[in-house]
Structure 1
């Protein structure tokens, strides 16, 4: 079958631009719906365990990951069986590779192993793109730079520089990616290319309509009885699938165990912070000279940091007797060199950690 026929030709085996655009919209909508509902379900389950907002966000991320993984598994399964996505199958389409036969380019079926690798690669690219987008939204919506527990000066500088570099490069990378996709779509619309997406162009694939010959091939394959070697091959395939599923379950269980360990450490850190913080109270004479709002907050809850007015993280005591978050007091001392409450001179070497994460 000669494929030197563009999608705008009514006799072309290639579907129209609008059909493929509808397929793309259906796939994106299905993925968004799956992630949204799995995220809500995970949050509902998490509320039965905890009310802490930080832990609920962890539950939401787990649910979002499971929703993405479920859709990826369904699409990969469809690619293995039908050599097309679920939405493309609904529109009676399949994917074929293009090979050169003498001087004519013809369509050929994609081998099963290659279909699996291509489907997994396509969804891996989608996963990386979503992770980068989510990270960019998180960084642009936050006023603070994420830092590790008990950071050193070099770590803070490295993370700050990497964050600035990522925030600077991401808009250009995203614009380049969207521009390439846009140009590829318009080239397909006007018959300048046979590939609907850059991924199909890079893997030398086209989306075409299912023909009567394809249906006959499937029926013939179902009618042909399997010989012993094929039975052995199928049994070996089942064993490989079982091993792959077991590996995924093992990795997922390990990941869940790591999440639970992080939650346990978070609870332990909070309890230890409260015990240590309750043992040291600010001097009464100093408390009387503080502004009324700050004094009331500290008297109501001695676990609060006087700078950020939140629960202290890695409590650090200042020579004035007040206890702050390590990051809050460190940044203040580096910037001004004084105690934020007493205005007395303080050096970094005078700060004392009361608790350190293991």
Structure 2
């Protein structure tokens, strides 16, 4: 996202806009449901290996993001989504020296994140979303957000009887009442900081950034120059002297290479998933090509209509759209198991009285009636 660096706004062109910050947060929030969807699809095929991971998805995702975010914070001074949008975290100085920095150039070593800032950022990037997700799951397990009319009276009385007397039941009822208000207050708190950041009343768009003493900046030309120099130094290492050194070099650098390549793999994977979603959609023009060349052959045609019984109701093929029983236009079209369509009232009365289709005289039941949506 280097094009954001060309946006000059206000006195400091490296200060990101609120829209960039919200965009990187949305990207971070979309990673977990996307990973959960992919795991759920593969778990249907390999339930023995992946079903437990899907059931403990929050813990699995938090563990993965702990390694990913730790790598990006240590190597790039930014989280994964922040680095993807061309942002970085900076230890905020006591006094802003933008003019002096512009005159001297380069990156001040004091701006790099220390061990304390890295672990505090990890706690807020991984721990806080995990706690909020578990709190939401617990609220839903208690029946939060579900209309009481959707639960039958017997089930509701049983739940109230189990949770009315014990201290655990009282805590559950209290949590169920307080959680929506606490969650709403938390969201309003974040909204207030967003508005204050938008009108430049605070340099932090999130309150916890001020607690750990960091703010977010756009990557400047000095940052890209430093990254290119670091890449040149890593590529200019002495060649390995033996195959053992080669394997050790590969195993040492492969995790770092994999984590750094996520910036490229993520948009490629999203494009590939959207392409497959379009390719296999019913309205896709490419679906006709796959059906014509499918090894399973063309699609199966619908079965032929059953012949009328000689003693059954006579049909006139010229009266299309007319009910064979009442002879009028079909109202609330309903199909019988034999495939013939009648008015719902006519079909219901006929099947309830005789227990068979009036045309084919085949057995039919009331619960076998199917409404036809035209």
What TM-score, normalized by structure 1, do the two folds share? 0.49
Which of 1 and 2 has greater Rg?
2
What TM-score, normalized by structure 2, do the two folds share? 0.48
